[in-house]
A = this chain, B = another copy of it.
Amino acid sequence: MRVRLQDIADDLNLSKMTISKVLRGQADISDATKARVLKRVKELNYIPNISASSLRTGQTRTLGLILPSIGKPFFGEVAAGITHAVGAAGYGLIVSSSQEDADAEQRQIEVFLSLQVDALLIVTLQETSAFFNQVGRLKETPVIFLNGRPAGAKGSYAGINEEEVGRIACEHLIQCGCKRIAYIRGSHSAAGDMRYKGYLEALARHRLTAHADLVAESMNADESEFVRGYTAMERLLARRGRPDGVMTYTDMLAAGAMEAAGGARVRVPEDIRFVGCGNDAAICGMRIPLTSMDVGGRELGQRAGKLALRVIHEGGRSTYRALVKPRLVRRRSSEGSRPGRAMERE
């Protein structure tokens, strides 16, 4: 049988109340007793039953995170960020995946609510706020939306400043001396639109004109991202007025595009400079180290975690928002090797 407080109490001729107090660090216990209890707890390998304590206290010190999928590096960073932010406060994180399915997501939400998590963090797939508002009215569990949220949903929000992603990437190319900057977009999305806006803004700010034929959409879902980047670049190269700088929606698109450039005997970065997005270690470490936007998954997680703690602390009444600023990671594809100037790693 599992070890309970009562077992330890019996062993030591104390009441279970005393054991409970020791374990929760209450002050009104003698040091001698404390030591005896702790010793026995360790020996018996006592593990508290959160179900029981939660029933009594109404809290589990556990946060639930629902992700569209477990296998994506970005989500891994987010999870790590949350864990890091809440661990010190004694909170644990449990994760589950909605498998990119909105119905499964709703079921996962109910699982976490029935497990009595103290807050729910979620990268949601829901298009509308209906489900959240319905559940939200009755359960007082705070919800924190990560990286996008359905219009009209109430709850706190932590997201990424996508406009800055586009702006910083573009501005970097401008500062490298590029005049004709192309943008290889992924499939349409809210984030994609924001980044595009940032791209346009950077151009405008530096009095560069935006050319429609420097924007390549690469949406053929039948092809891999690499191939889509490749063919998009081929198209850009075929037009007159070649770009001298290229930014892409993902690192893999950039990898494909750089390959196309190489095939066309264009030198990188001398003739064309590249900036990817995602800062994927594997991809950025390929042939020509790729300058990339670190979109800030880890920081997003940290901000969201802190935000969750604050909301819990305040009894779930108020809501907050946080926007993470992305960060440029310079590598050879945009700057070449410049002796005397350390390249950023990681």
Residue positions of A touching B, CB distance < 8 A: 1-3, 44-45, 47-52, 54-55, 60, 62, 67, 69-77, 79-80, 83, 92-97, 99, 108, 110-111, 113-116, 134-135, 138-140, 223-227, 230, 252, 255-256, 259, 281-282, 285-287
Contacts and interface: CB of A to CB of B under 8 A. Distances in A.
Contact of A224 (B108, B138, B226, B286): B286
Contacts of A70: 67, 70, 75-76, 79-80, 95
Given A69-B76, A116-B50, A45 B286 contact: no
- Identify which of A44, A110, A224, A256 gathers the most chain B CB atoms within 10 Å of its CB: A224
Contact of A226 (B83, B113, B115, B287): B287
A305 to B, nearest CB: 14
Given A52-B55, A285-B226, A71 B62 contact: no
A160 B49 CA distance: 34
Given A51-B54, A76-B71, A259-B287, A111 B135 contact: no
B47 A110 contact: yes
A62 B64 CA distance: 14
Contacts of A47: 110, 113-114, 135, 139
A283 to B, nearest CB: 8
Taking the full assembly, how many copies of this chain does it contain? Answer: 2
A114 B79 contact: no
Contacts of A138: 2-3, 44-45
Contacts of A55: 49, 51-52, 55
For A49, A52, A70, A139, which residue has the most chain B Cβ atoms within 10 angstroms? A70
B95 A95 contact: yes
